[in-house]
Structure formats: structure tokens, C-alpha cells
């Protein structure tokens, strides 16, 4: 009995500490005015559609459009933490992607910053975006990743001392000192979220978007992350988050909340006033019940009467009277001054600096992945021995002509397959990370491509030595710099072809299917299995489409 009371006492203390562990932050602390001024981000009558194509066997494809957002309007000002909440499929992420100008498609409606239309280019410059799923190179430590991003995002006029102080301040603010020297692959979900948030705060953006920031976290970690975001908002920034059924203590930390139902706006306003809207429709949250869960259960109900009430709720919120009320704050703000953009413009590092930083990251990731690299070398070395063993000590005479032809055929085919298919996985696994960083203007694609190309060239040379030298020694083939150069060109050609397929297809499965079918269809066109003289001239010209034709 005593143990049970002690456990409850410990849990109560930890629970109370959980909601107030951010430097004793005052709930009613007045937001500071940002160096960028008081900003109001507004969106009006946002409509988003996606194109859907269905196709059945022996029938024409049918195209339809699905409406994801219906005339959604709202606004948020500097110093506020805004949460976007709703059932799964209600349009939370779509609204976030739209107002942050990070959606792939087009949308209808107005997106304004202090009354002025804001373009995609400007929005990317003045905002940070923390994705739901962590996207980073796991081989780096937290400090290495943060330092790299700081050197790429902060002005090159910043001194090393100033840059270090800036990084240390963010580390202290987010409480990251305990895991700075730990590789990202070994970090928990909450620690990864902190790293992603820290990266976005490096260039001090006045607007911060966070997609499902608390998803997958325990209550304590979720509360700490939300407390962190609220402290960031109190620095005079706009912070917008999508949330999915937060704990009651976490839900109450938000200043304002947007409720969505089937792509329609059900409510926007203070969190403390949500219950009044639902009370109008005779829905009251029971005592000792999570208000966020209660709201979601109403918005996601299958009861026809409840559905009708939710529809009326959306109509009430989207009415002209309610829209004008929401825009009173917007109308009282001054026009957005372009000087805010000039203050945010940074003198980016030069291309050679970006290249050296990305190359350094690529080298670290490659070296720390030594187990897979050694396994690949062992595999290719063993493959070369297995292929060459039946052809050991071949003689250079007429009796061994067929043996030599068989050896070179098997050797070259497996050689091409290895380098082609090894390239497919190389870029597919890194595509999402590089795409996001390039899209956010962290560095140009050319800097990444050249850094990876240098490592690929050296790695191909090493693998050729392991594959060829042992095989040539077993078979007794003459080899020298010229022979190695020929095989290097063959390896680089195969790797380039695999890289092309990897860049063209999004999914590895589709890449592998296409590569397998294409390779086996074009392999007979290499001339090793049949004579082109016996084929029609139209088929004869197809040999140039075979990757194996120049080598067999």
C-alpha cells in the first residue's frame, strides 16, 4: 500500500512538472514583437482539388476530381500558436501544405501576409517547415547535422564565434545538450523532432509550420515539444501545427485552434471557446474527459443527426458574418513592408563552400556505413571467384576458344548487373532528403550531385579491383591499365544507367521491374547469342538499345 501511494505521488509530481518544464513560462506572457514586425498570415476561400484517375482492364481510364478543402478561411498573427485539428482525412495536412506554399498542385483562393499576396518563393524564404516524418542522414550526430545546416543556411559573413553562439543558444533553448554527440539513428522520436525544429530555427524565420509535431510521441515528450513551440511563438513568430488527438494538457497549450471536418472549416478561435460552439448544438464535454477526444468524436461521428449538426456548424463558421469577424484583426494591421524580406535575405555561402560541406557529409556517411561497404566488397570478391573458378588456368589456344567466350559472357553480364542494380538503391534511399533540402533552397542540386559523383567514382574503382583482379588471376587472363580502364568505363556506364532509372521512377519496386524486363529483352541484341546477319535490317538497328552490345 505504501509503495502504491509513493508511485502515485511520483507520477503526480512528474505530471505537474510536465506541463511547466519550459523555464517556468508564464501562460499569459505577452508576446514579444519580432524583428520582422507584427505579421498576420491570412487565407481566404481556399479550395483544393486533386485529380484521380481510375482504369480497368479493356476500358478507358476515367478521370475525376476530389475536393479536399471547401472555402476554408482563417488567419493567425505573430506571437500565437495555432493548432489545426480534425479527424483523419479532414484536410489538416492539405491546409498546412497550401498556406505554406508547399503543395504540389494548384489551389484557389487568396493567401496574404499583412494584406499583400505572398508568392511561393517569398514564403519559402521567410518560413520554416518541420515535416511529420524525420528526414535526415542517420549516420551523422545531432551536432554534426545542426552545424552543417547552420553553415549552409546562415550568412557567410557570420563569424565562426557568432555561428557557434547561435547554435549553442538554440541547443540550450530546445534542451538538446544530452544527445548532441549521438548519431541520429539512435535517437528517440522526440529527440529527432527537436533536431528538425532546431534546423528550421537556424535562420530565424518569422513563420514556422509543423506537420503532426506530436504524432508518435508519449505525453511527456509531446507536452515538452508544444511548450517549446509556444515559447518560440512568444518570441514574436507565427507557429502553426497540425495535431492529431492531443492529450488534454497539450490541447490547452495552444492559443487558437482550427477544427476541420471533411475539408470544411468547423471552427477557428481561442481554444478556451471551443466548448461554447459545441454547446450551441447541445454537445457538452463530460467532466474528466479529454476535450480534444470529445471534439474529434463529434466531428467524426457516423450518426446522421450528429452529421447534420456538424454540417450546420461548418455553415455557421463559414458564413459572411463569421468571416468578417475573423478578419477584424487582419484589417487593423499595417501593410507588409518589403524591408522585412530584405532583413531576411542572407548572403548564402558560395558554391565551392556548399560543395565542400556536402562532400564532407557524404564522406562521413559513407565511411560510417563501413559494415555494408565491407559486405558489398566481400560479395563482389566472392562472386568474381565463383564465376572464374570453373575457368581456371585457361590456355590461349584454339581448344579453349569456347571456354574463353563462355567466361567473358558470364563475367560481363554479372559485372553489368551488379553496378546497374547497386545504383538503383543508392539514390532512391536519399531522394526524399535531397529533394526537400534542394526545394528549401538549402543548397543547389549541382553541389550534391558533384559530391556524390566523386565518391561514386572512387568507390567504383575499388570495387573493380576486387571483382576483376582475383578473377583474372584465377583464369589467367592478361590484365593491365588498359583492361582496367575498359572495365571502369563499363562499370561507370552501367552505374549511370541505373542512376537514370533511379531518378526516373519514384519507387524502387517499379525501377527493379523495368530494369529486369528491359535488360533481359535487350540482352539477346548484344550479339553474343545470335548473328545479326540473319536478322532483318529493322531489328539489326535495335542493337544500339542494348547495354551489352559494345562489350560482348
Longest dimension (CA), the chain: 98
Residues 298 and 387 in one domain: no
Q: Indicate whether 13 belongs to any domain.
A: no
Alpha-carbon torsion (465, 466, 467, 469), positive or negative:
positive
Look at residue 65 in the predicted model and tell me its pLDDT.
Answer: 78
**Contact status, residue 85 vs residue 243, Cβ threshold 8 Å:** yes
Among candidate residues 333, 367, 390, the one where a domain is terminated: 333
**Contact status, residue 77 vs residue 38, Cβ threshold 8 Å:** yes
Look at residue 338 in the predicted model and tell me its pLDDT.
Answer: 52
Phi (first) and psi of residue 183, to 5 degrees: -65, 145
Among candidate residues 300, 333, 366, the one where a domain is terminated: 333
Alpha-carbon torsion (240, 245, 248, 250), positive or negative:
negative
**Contact status, residue 113 vs residue 40, Cβ threshold 8 Å:** yes
Q: Indicate whether 1 belongs to any domain.
A: no
Neighbours of 279 (CB within 10 A): 11
Q: Indicate whether 26 belongs to any domain.
A: no
| 3-state SS, residue 190 | helix
Q: Indicate whether 98 belongs to any domain.
A: yes
Residues 272 and 363 in one domain: no
Alpha helix ranges (H) inside 290-430: 291-299, 304-318, 320-326, 328-331, 339-344, 351-368, 370-388, 401-428
| 3-state SS, residue 374 | helix
Q: Which of 130, 170, 122 is nearest to 150 (CA)?
A: 170
- Grid coordinates representing 136 are 535526415
Residues 311 and 168 in one domain: yes
Residues in the chain: 552
Residues 368 and 503 in one domain: yes
Look at residue 470 in the predicted model and tell me its pLDDT.
Answer: 79
Residues 314 and 428 in one domain: no
Q: Indicate whether 428 belongs to any domain.
A: yes
Q: Which of 482, 489, 547 is nearest to 518 (CA)?
A: 547
The distance of Cα 484 from the centroid of its chain, to the nearest Å, equals: 40
Residues 465 and 517 in one domain: yes
Distance in angstroms (rounded) separating the CA atoms of residues 125 and 1 = 59
Q: Indicate whether 206 belongs to any domain.
A: yes
Q: Indicate whether 505 belongs to any domain.
A: yes
Residues 258 and 390 in one domain: no
Instruction: Please count the structural domains in the chain.
Output: 2
Distance in angstroms (rounded) separating the CA atoms of residues 413 and 89 = 48
| 3-state SS, residue 1 | coil
Neighbours of 351 (CB within 10 A): 13
- Grid coordinates representing 419 are 553496378
Residues 313 and 423 in one domain: no
Look at residue 353 in the predicted model and tell me its pLDDT.
Answer: 92
To the nearest 10 degrees (0 to 180), the angle between helices 219-233 and 189-201 is 10
Residues 172 and 219 in one domain: yes
Q: Which residues pair with 51 in a beta bridge?
A: 65
Per-residue pLDDT of the chain (552 residues; tens, 9 = 90+): 334 333 333 333 333 433 344 444 444 555 555 556 688 899 988 888 887 776 665 566 677 778 888 888 889 999 999 999 988 888 888 899 999 988 776 788 888 888 888 888 888 888 889 887 777 888 999 999 999 999 988 878 888 898 889 899 988 888 888 899 999 988 888 888 889 889 998 888 889 999 888 877 777 878 888 888 998 898 889 999 998 878 777 888 899 999 998 888 888 888 888 888 888 888 888 877 888 888 888 888 887 888 887 887 887 776 643 445 444 555 555 565 555 555 555 578 889 999 999 999 999 999 999 999 999 899 889 988 888 888 887 777 676 677 787 888 888 888 888 888 888 877 777 888 888 888 888 899 999 999 998 999 999 999 988 888 878 888 877 777 787 888 888 899 889 888 888 888 878 888 888 888 888 877 777 766 766 666 677 666 777 777 776 655
Residues 265 and 128 in one domain: yes
* CATH value at residue 113: 3.40.50.300
Look at residue 308 in the predicted model and tell me its pLDDT.
Answer: 81
Alpha-carbon torsion (320, 326, 328, 333), positive or negative:
negative
Cα dihedral 145→149→152→155 (10° resolution)? -130
Neighbours of 489 (CB within 10 A): 12
From residue 247, alpha-carbon distances to 132, 231, 252 in Å are: 18, 19, 9
Among candidate residues 283, 301, 333, the one where a domain is terminated: 333
Residues 417 and 329 in one domain: no
Alpha helix ranges (H) inside 187-335: 189-201, 219-233, 248-251, 274-280, 291-299, 304-318, 320-326, 328-331
Residues 285 and 367 in one domain: no
Q: Which residues pair with 48 in a beta bridge?
A: 69, 107
Q: Please provide the distance, in angstroms rounded to a whole number, between the alpha carbons at the two ends of the chain.
A: 82
Distance in angstroms (rounded) separating the CA atoms of residues 257 and 317 = 13
Distance in angstroms (rounded) separating the CA atoms of residues 196 and 190 = 10
Look at residue 55 in the predicted model and tell me its pLDDT.
Answer: 60
DSSP 8-class letter at 115 = T
Distance in angstroms (rounded) separating the CA atoms of residues 389 and 542 = 34
Q: Indicate whether 493 belongs to any domain.
A: yes
Task: Find the domain containing 282 and state its range.
Answer: 74-333
Amino acid at each position: 500500500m505504501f509503495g502504491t501511494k509513493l508511485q502515485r505521488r511520483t507520477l503526480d509530481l512528474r505530471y505537474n512538472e510536465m506541463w511547466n518544464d519550459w523555464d517556468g513560462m508564464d501562460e499569459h506572457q505577452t508576446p514579444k514583437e519580432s524583428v520582422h514586425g507584427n505579421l498576420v498570415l491570412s487565407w481566404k476561400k481556399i479550395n483544393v482539388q486533386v485529380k484521380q484517375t481510375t482504369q480497368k482492364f479493356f476500358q478507358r481510364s476515367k478521370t475525376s476530381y476530389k475536393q479536399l478543402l471547401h472555402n476554408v478561411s482563417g488567419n493567425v498573427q505573430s506571437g500565437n500558436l495555432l493548432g489545426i485539428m480534425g479527424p483523419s482525412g479532414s484536410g489538416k495536412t492539405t491546409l498546412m501544405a497550401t498556406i505554406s506554399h508547399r503543395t504540389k498542385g494548384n489551389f484557389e483562393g487568396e493567401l496574404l501576409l499583412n494584406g499583400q499576396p505572398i508568392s511561393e518563393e517569398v514564403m519559402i524564404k521567410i518560413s520554416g517547415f518541420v515535416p511529420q516524418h524525420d528526414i535526415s542522414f542517420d549516420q551523422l550526430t545531432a551536432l554534426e547535422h545542426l552545424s552543417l545546416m547552420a553553415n549552409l543556411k546562415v550568412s557567410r559573413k557570420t563569424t565562426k564565434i557568432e555561428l557557434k553562439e547561435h547554435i549553442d543558444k538554440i541547443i540550450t533553448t530546445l534542451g538538446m545538450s544530452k544527445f548532441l554527440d549521438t548519431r541520429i539513428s539512435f535517437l528517440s522520436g522526440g529527440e529527432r523532432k527537436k533536431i528538425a525544429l532546431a534546423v528550421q530555427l537556424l535562420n530565424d524565420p518569422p513563420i514556422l509550420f509543423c506537420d503532426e509535431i506530436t504524432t508518435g510521441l508519449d505525453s511527456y515528450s509531446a507536452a515538452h515539444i508544444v511548450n517549446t513551440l509556444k515559447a518560440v511563438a512568444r518570441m514574436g513568430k507565427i507557429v502553426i501545427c497540425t495535431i492529431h488527438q492531443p492529450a488534454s494538457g497539450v490541447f490547452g497549450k495552444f492559443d487558437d485552434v482550427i477544427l476541420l471536418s471533411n475539408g470544411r472549416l468547423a471552427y477557428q478561435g481561442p481554444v478556451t471557446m471551443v466548448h461554447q460552439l459545441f454547446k450551441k448544438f447541445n454537445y457538452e464535454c463530460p467532466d474528466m474527459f479529454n476535450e480534444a477526444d470529445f471534439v474529434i468524436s463529434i466531428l467524426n461521428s457516423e450518426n446522421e443527426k450528429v452529421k447534420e449538426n456538424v454540417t450546420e456548424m461548418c455553415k455557421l463558421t463559414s458564413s459572411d458574418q463569421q468571416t468578417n469577424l475573423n478578419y477584424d484583426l487582419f484589417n487593423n494591421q499595417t501593410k507588409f513592408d518589403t524591408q522585412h524580406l530584405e532583413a531576411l535575405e542572407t548572403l548564402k555561402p558560395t558554391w565551392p563552400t556548399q560543395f565542400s560541406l556536402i562532400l564532407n557529409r557524404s564522406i562521413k556517411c559513407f565511411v560510417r556505413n563501413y559494415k555494408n561497404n565491407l559486405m558489398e566488397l566481400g560479395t563482389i570478391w566472392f562472386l568474381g571467384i565463383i564465376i572464374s573458378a570453373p575457368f581456371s588456368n585457361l590456355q590461349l589456344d584454339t581448344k579453349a576458344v569456347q571456354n574463353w567466350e563462355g567466361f567473358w559472357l558470364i563475367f560481363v553480364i554479372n559485372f553489368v548487373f551488379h553496378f546497374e542494380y547497386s545504383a538503383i538503391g543508392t539514390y532512391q534511399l536519399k531522394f526524399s532528403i535531397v529533394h526537400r533540402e534542394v526545394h528549401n533552397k538549402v543548397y543547389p542540386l549541382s553541389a550534391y550531385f558533384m559530391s556524390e559523383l566523386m565518391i561514386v567514382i572512387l568507390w567504383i574503382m575499388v570495387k573493380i579491383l576486387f571483382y576483376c583482379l582475383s578473377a583474372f588471376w584465377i583464369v589467367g587472363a592478361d590484365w593491365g591499365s588498359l583492361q582496367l580502364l575498359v572495365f571502369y568505363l563499363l562499370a561507370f556506364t552501367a552505374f549511370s544507367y541505373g542512376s537514370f532509372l533511379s531518378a526516373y521512377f519514384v519507387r524502387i519496386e517499379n525501377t527493379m521491374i523495368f530494369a529486369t524486363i528491359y535488360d533481359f529483352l535487350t540482352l539477346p541484341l548484344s550479339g553474343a547469342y545470335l548473328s545479326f546477319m540473319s536478322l532483318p535490317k529493322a531489328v539489326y538497328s535495335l542493337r544500339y538499345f542494348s547495354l551489352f552490345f559494345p562489350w560482348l
